[in-house]
Amino acid sequence: MTETPGPAEFAEHVADHHHSDVSGGWLRAAVFGAMDGLVTNIGLVAGVGGGGADRELIILTGMAGLVAGAFSMALGEFASVDTQNEAVAHEVSVERDEIKRHPKAEQAELAAMYEEMGLSADTAEAVARDVHRNPELAVRVHITQELGVDPEESPSPWTAAISSFLCFSVGGVIPLIPFLLGASALWTGLAVGAVGLFVLGALTSRFTQRSWLFAGVRQLLFGALAAGATYLVGLLIGVGVSG
């Protein structure tokens, strides 16, 4: 028989037992938005700077990229999450109909899933039978087991869109800071952007098991790859135009 924990032990467990958001809501949208904003505008700064653009044109290009990218990310996140939620709702409707039409087959299917997870046949059948006493609980359990999502904990498309918009804007403005403060040398924007990439990458390690150094260096290398490619494009096009 399982021993019941005391009040102090239970309170300590509740305080320690906390999981990060891994459902695809604000966290994914925020990280993706910030990373995309940084990489996009570092690439734009490197590209137009490599083509010989002056400070004003770099700022114009960067701000235009920031606004366009932020709205694009927000609208894309909203549509993506909303479509995902609608798809889950459709599957819930299909599963509910299947349970009504074939209750015994669905109960046997759930028992088989529990057996695959390691439960004994008798325990799996008993749990599946108990779950199917409540049709709505059965629908939720089947969807969770079959699709890996909880239909009652769908991420908010508005949260994803707003997180993406704000974080893309923050990430996108970082490489523009030196130019907005009066600097005109291309390397200043790239250097500030590189620091931003490393710091943001390091911060993401808080939600993973990777070290902050690995996460920061990895993101820095990704950004350097994008900046190098766009700088080369700008350099080649700039030379061709001037010629």
Please report which confidence band the pLDDT of residue 242 belongs to, taking 50, 70 and 90 as the band edges: very low
pLDDT at 8: 53
pLDDT at 208: 77
- Cβ neighbors of 216 (< 8 A, separation 6 or more) are 197, 198, 199, 201, 202, 205
pLDDT at 182: 94
Q: Report the residue count for the chain.
A: 243
pLDDT at 148: 86
- pLDDT at residue 145 greater than cutoff 80: yes
Please report which confidence band the pLDDT of residue 243 belongs to, taking 50, 70 and 90 as the band edges: very low
- pLDDT at residue 89 greater than cutoff 80: yes
Report the Cα 68 to chain-centroid distance in Å: 20
Report the percentage of the chain scoring pLDDT > 70.
88
Q: Which helix (H) or strand (E) holds 94?
A: helix 55-101
pLDDT at 205: 82
pLDDT at 130: 95
pTM for the model = 0.78
- Find tokens 């599957």 and name the residue: 91
Rounded CA-CA distance 171/27 in Å is: 15
**173-231 per-position pLDDT tens digit:** 999 999 999 999 999 999 999 999 999 989 888 877 889 999 999 999 999 999 999 99
User: Alpha helix (H) ranges present in 102-205?
Assistant: 103-116, 121-131, 135-147, 157-173, 177-180, 186-204
pLDDT at 147: 87
> Do residues 201 and 215 lie in contact, with contact meaning Cβ atoms separated by under 8 Å?
yes
